[in-house]
Structure 1
Amino acid sequence: MMLNLFSSRPDHPLGDPKELKRAIVELPPDNSFKAVDEVYGWFESLQQADGFRVDHLYDVVRQLDEAVQSHLRRLSRDYLHSPRLSKNEERRLWSICYNYWGEVSSLYARCIERAKSNPKEKGSETLKSSLPLAATRLLAARAAQLKWVEYRYGPIGEDLWRGLGQPYLAAEVAGYATQPVQIYPGQAGLTSVAQQYLQALIFDSSSMGSLMPIEIDLADRLIAHFQPHFVFSKNCLPDSVYWVDAASGLPPTRLARQPDQLTQTLRFFSPGNVPQALNELTRIVERGDVPADLNLGGEYPATMLLPVLRHLALYWAPEPPQREHPRHAVKTRIAVLQGFDDCFTAFAGNVARLGKERTAESWVVENVSLGGFGASVDDLGGEWLRIGALICMHPEGGENWVLGVVRRYNKDSEKHASVGIQSLSKHAASIELRPRTAGFSATGAIPGIWLRENNSPGEARVVLPPGSFDVRTSLEFVHDNRSYLLAPIELEETGSSFEIGHYREHVAD
């Protein structure tokens, strides 16, 4: 052990190997938040500590970091999978995880910089063999910060991109950027500084702003699965798709826009043959199978994995995805109501709508297309706005409400965001549906929003409250004195407060 090599101890409790061991042993096994918070507190104190030989400091940080990895995974699962987290608890979990990765990356960076600045010190020479692991953990920690920012659709600052690119370049110069290491005990597989940097680049290039947080995590794990097959190069190859200046604070960019100048710090990457492998995996999952060797961090149904695979296929294609409809720049305000209940009320008629209109939020539409809107939101006081939110919109000066779903969400700051909205219907109607069982109508009514356009002949789509669609149950309703019978085909989509059922439509004579 490194700790046995020291003849003197720094003026810090963890300078004593026995105290370090005690601090680790006493971490609460059944309270992950407290365990991570305690280690975070130790990290904060180590930032101010003097007298540590650099290899000693690294060993303390390394052991504390390893001690809480299982707790960090548990907090991440709680954040992504707990269905009834309050907003305060969500912020609490997000903050402790994001801040932890920032603090530990800073300490690894400090150790590496000290060893580089004072190579003749005894501690620097001892640390030399551990630098590949220290740098790999540094890159992995900052890549984790990148992911946690995306969970909240926040802006990625230049500091974070520099914090990823510059250590990678330094590792290249030092000759260990591609040296494989086992990043944490018990973690399968090997990785390297270069692989962790490429992971972050692919992640950012895969348009996470149109995925929900749990889908972002799945996408990150799929990136790790396919990442060894991506092509990463100092040179622009014929099949290169993206470039990045690793020394700058800028994210990767499609080669549709060329670099302003060629520099030694430019790097290029492409999916290589990954699209073919991704298509093969998609076909397997479409059959309902999820391969056992696919590490997703848990068990997920094929229906949850498929949208993520299809999303990645778009952004890993040699050609970028083309917009289905051209955008047109505009500047107009829209009134916005959210959630199934408010949307149902908005399409139920003028009298029912009057009270709701007074509570509507005001957004600025910046562009429109046949498929939807791009809007700017100046006040993010409401916590409901997220990918998959059902909304209805009333354009200023317009005559009708439009039903839509938030498909893209990017926060520019804590108070401002840009959203992309897919239009579901410009002529929706609120209806009351009754389940039809054994030829008799049931008594309980189910509210629905009938999407009256963009349907195949003889078919219908209806927005329903969560958990209302049943593939075994037909529904009937009356609209404009005509009776309709809906025979279920499939559940088309599930959102944050709604689901869309796809039906065969029969109109009574």
Structure 2
Amino acid sequence: MYEILKLFESKPDHPMVSADAARRILADLAKTEPAAALEQIAHWAGTLRDVDGFSCDDRFEVTAEIEAAGRKRVDAVFAAFFGRIHKRDFTQRKLFEPLYAFWNGIAGAYGRCVLGHERGEKGAGRIRKDLPLALARSIRATGMAERMRLLRYIGLDADMWQALYHLLAYAEILGIDAQAITAYPREVHTTPRAELLRMMGLSLAALHELPPEQVELAGRVLDRYAISFAWSREPAPECNFVVDLAAPAAPWQLKDEKAPAASKRYFGGGPALAKLEEIEQLAANNLLSEEARYGKEFSQAQIVTVIRHLRTYLGADPPHRRFPRASVNDEVSVVKGFRAICQRVTTVDVGSGSALGEDLSLKQHKKSAVHLAAEEVEAVPEVWHMKDRSNWGIGIDVPQGLGLWAEPGVLCGIQEHEGAPWWVGIIRRLNAEDSGRLHCGLWILSKKSISVFLRVIGKEGEKASNWESSSGGFSYRYMRALVLPDALKSNDHPVMLIERQEIGMGELCEVMVGEHSRHVQLLELIEEGADYMRVAFVWKAPPAH
């Protein structure tokens, strides 16, 4: 009966009046370069969202055809965009625009299908069976569009929440919010609610604190585990976040909450946190299989860093600012990178005649004759504007045209004024405006850092003879380290920075300072940044030869 009635329905004023018409038009893009083709496909998706006159089922079928054509190009365009992930230039923006427009258009087109059913528009009965899929795909596409914004450190679109909450509220009315479906071939099952939980995880996870590769990795981790988040209509012990489906606002942490409301929903990491902890342990011990690594482009150290970050921000007690900020109006000199900082902070080596105590204090003794020279690195400091500060943090406005290298996870040297000591800091937060202006927050790791050389000896218990080379000598690997006497400890262990490289935890290293050997053992990888690794260590007795 539905098909007979459909014969007498009016048609929209649109070239893609049906799925067949859409396929014919989209076939003309077969030889078009992927980014240009995706731009045109994104245009068609936008029209499906905006044009009236479609029946609900026709709009759904045409949207599915448009999406399928776009998804064939998305991987190639995203790969090109991701290849320029550290460049905020015109080329990167031209790759970003069709990706964002495509996902935004697809989200709107599927959402319009749901809205048509809610309004009882023509074809509403025929689309009922596809509503869970339309809901899930609309919310998923919104998440993909917002992830593109996050990769450029543009905040989430505040206006999107109301549309997403409306979709979920309608799904709840129909009783399909937790209906298991397969959104796309070769995927595990999902639900409309799980798709929204991915978005809420993105919102709460402070992804502006991660380098761009890790932002993408965090999104992929949430894709896999958000379905295991806890969810409740009433306050529950495992639900420490809340959202109000009647208010166009992002989710927030549950603190001194007022009386529950019918429109409020409570959620938390729940079983997902335990699963993330298991993955973190496997990755920390280099035991994560390649299939479970979210992509070949991510190292196990990056996986450890990202999962630890997610567990922190989605856990029971997310971080909050510990020190009050005071407004200032000063200039500071900022230099990028681990090696450039090593040149500027206090530097000691085996020939300095100094000794490093277990409290990381530096004592001067008689001078020796052996020196290890650091590689010279050209790095010109930039002058940035400091707008606020606390004891261990500063807020920065980056002048136009500067800070092209700035992104979360980048190590910086900071000097308040000429002749002042250089501090070691990490860009912890970045917000970018469409105009190109950057605002960032720097965490001051140390104001008294010391640059030293480490000689890698090997795992505890290995014989020194194992390191003997074929020439009869000993072959060692040397690396720079920044010792941080005033930095926060990790599980009561001191912390240092080493240059980013392949090195396992448990390695013994000799600190090349003074006449008497001091040894440390690397205990824990706390974080992997752009060119550094932050590790906890413990002092050890020299290994027996």
Tell me, yes or no, whether TM beats 0.5: yes
Give the Cα–Cα distance (whole angstroms) in 2 for the partners of residues 328 and 44 of structure 1. Answer: 45
- Partner residue, 1:182: 182
Residue 18 (structure 2) pairs with residue 20 (structure 1): no
Give the Cα–Cα distance (whole angstroms) in 2 for the partners of residues 126 and 270 of structure 1. Answer: 36
Query: Where does 1:63-462 land on structure 2 (aligned, <5 Å)?
Result: 63-81=65-83, 87-119=89-121, 121=122, 123-184=123-184, 186-259=185-258, 262-291=260-289, 294=292, 296-298=294-296, 300-321=298-319, 326-332=322-328, 333=330, 334-340=332-338, 343=341, 346-347=344-345, 360-364=382-386, 366-369=388-391, 372-377=392-397, 379=399, 381=401, 382-395=403-416, 399-411=420-432, 414=435, 418-428=439-449, 450-451=482-483, 453=485
Q: CA RMSD in A?
A: 4.4
Q: Secondary structure at the match of 1:385?
A: coil
Give the Cα–Cα distance (whole angstroms) in 2 for the partners of residues 67 and 290 of structure 1. Answer: 34
Report how far residue 69 of structure 1 moved: 1.8
Give the Cα–Cα distance (whole angstroms) in 1 for the partners of residues 444 and 180 of structure 2. Answer: 48
Give the Cα–Cα distance (whole angstroms) in 2 for the partners of residues 376 and 163 of structure 1. Answer: 34
Q: Secondary structure at the match of 1:243?
A: strand
Which sits farther off after the overlay, 43-52 or 428-437? 428-437
Q: Secondary structure at the match of 1:13?
A: coil
- Partner residue, 1:352: none
Distance change >3 Å, CA 468–CA 235, structure 1 → 2: closer
Distance change >3 Å, CA 79–CA 475, structure 1 → 2: farther
Give the Cα–Cα distance (whole angstroms) in 2 for the partners of residues 406 and 3 of structure 1. Answer: 60
- State which of 530, 536, 542 in structure 2 corresponds to 1:496: 530
Give the Cα–Cα distance (whole angstroms) in 2 for the partners of residues 83 and 292 of structure 1. Answer: 23
Report how far residue 404 of structure 1 moved: 1.6
Number of aligned residues:
487
Contact 2:86–2:405 at 8 Å: present in 1 too?
no
Give the Cα–Cα distance (whole angstroms) in 2 for the partners of residues 425 and 102 of structure 1. Answer: 43
Letter aligned with residue 109 of structure 2: L
Distance change >3 Å, CA 218–CA 60, structure 1 → 2: same
Report how far residue 448 of structure 1 moved: 5.8
Report how far residue 302 of structure 1 moved: 2.1
Letter aligned with residue 441 of structure 2: G
Give the Cα–Cα distance (whole angstroms) in 1 for the partners of residues 62 and 180 of structure 2. Answer: 22
Report how far residue 495 of structure 1 moved: 3.6
Letter aligned with residue 271 of structure 1: G
Give the Cα–Cα distance (whole angstroms) in 2 for the partners of residues 30 and 287 of structure 1. Answer: 46
Letter aligned with residue 368 of structure 1: S
Give the Cα–Cα distance (whole angstroms) in 2 for the partners of residues 3 and 337 of structure 1. Answer: 68
Letter aligned with residue 453 of structure 1: P
Residue 36 (structure 2) pairs with residue 38 (structure 1): no
Report how far residue 267 of structure 1 moved: 0.6
Deviation per residue, 1:85-128 (Å, 9 max, x gap): 67223222222222211112222222322332234x3x222222
Report how far residue 347 of structure 1 moved: 4.6
Distance change >3 Å, CA 20–CA 499, structure 1 → 2: same
Report how far residue 294 of structure 1 moved: 3.7
Q: Per chain length, whose mean CA-contact separation is higher, i.e. which structure has more relative contact order (CA < 8 Å, sep 6+)?
A: 2
Give the Cα–Cα distance (whole angstroms) in 1 for the partners of residues 150 and 516 of structure 2. Answer: 44
Contact 2:290–2:296 at 8 Å: present in 1 too?
no
Q: Secondary structure at the match of 1:168?
A: helix
Distance change >3 Å, CA 220–CA 83, structure 1 → 2: closer
Report how far residue 310 of structure 1 moved: 1.5
Letter aligned with residue 360 of structure 1: E
Contact 2:301–2:528 at 8 Å: present in 1 too?
no
Give the Cα–Cα distance (whole angstroms) in 2 for the partners of residues 500 and 269 of structure 1. Answer: 32
Report how far residue 386 of structure 1 moved: 0.4
Q: Secondary structure at the match of 1:76?
A: helix
Give the Cα–Cα distance (whole angstroms) in 2 for the partners of residues 146 and 499 of structure 1. Answer: 29
Query: Where does 1:449-488 land on structure 2 (aligned, <5 Å)?
Result: 450-451=482-483, 453=485, 464=499
Report how far residue 295 of structure 1 moved: 7.1
Gaps of 5+ in 2: 348-377, 458-467
Distance change >3 Å, CA 505–CA 364, structure 1 → 2: farther
Identical-residue share of aligned pairs (%): 20
Give the Cα–Cα distance (whole angstroms) in 2 for the partners of residues 84 and 199 of structure 1. Answer: 25
Which sits farther off after the overlay, 292-301 or 263-272? 292-301
Report how far residue 327 of structure 1 moved: 1.2
The TM-score with structure 1 as length reference comes to 0.79
Deviation per residue, 1:390-413 (Å, 9 max, x gap): 222122588222122212334477
Contact 1:151–1:213 at 8 Å: present in 2 too?
yes
Distance change >3 Å, CA 447–CA 237, structure 1 → 2: closer
Give the Cα–Cα distance (whole angstroms) in 1 for the partners of residues 237 and 88 of structure 2. Answer: 50
Q: Secondary structure at the match of 1:361?
A: strand
Distance change >3 Å, CA 111–CA 500, structure 1 → 2: closer
Report how far residue 134 of structure 1 moved: 1.4
The TM-score with structure 2 as length reference comes to 0.74
Contact 1:390–1:406 at 8 Å: present in 2 too?
yes
Letter aligned with residue 331 of structure 1: S
Report how far residue 309 of structure 1 moved: 1.8
Q: Secondary structure at the match of 2:59?
A: helix
Gaps of 5+ in 1: 350-354
Contact 2:135–2:167 at 8 Å: present in 1 too?
yes
Give the Cα–Cα distance (whole angstroms) in 2 for the partners of residues 223 and 499 of structure 1. Answer: 24
Distance change >3 Å, CA 398–CA 84, structure 1 → 2: closer
Distance change >3 Å, CA 3–CA 486, structure 1 → 2: farther
Distance change >3 Å, CA 257–CA 93, structure 1 → 2: farther
Give the Cα–Cα distance (whole angstroms) in 2 for the partners of residues 348 and 10 of structure 1. Answer: 72
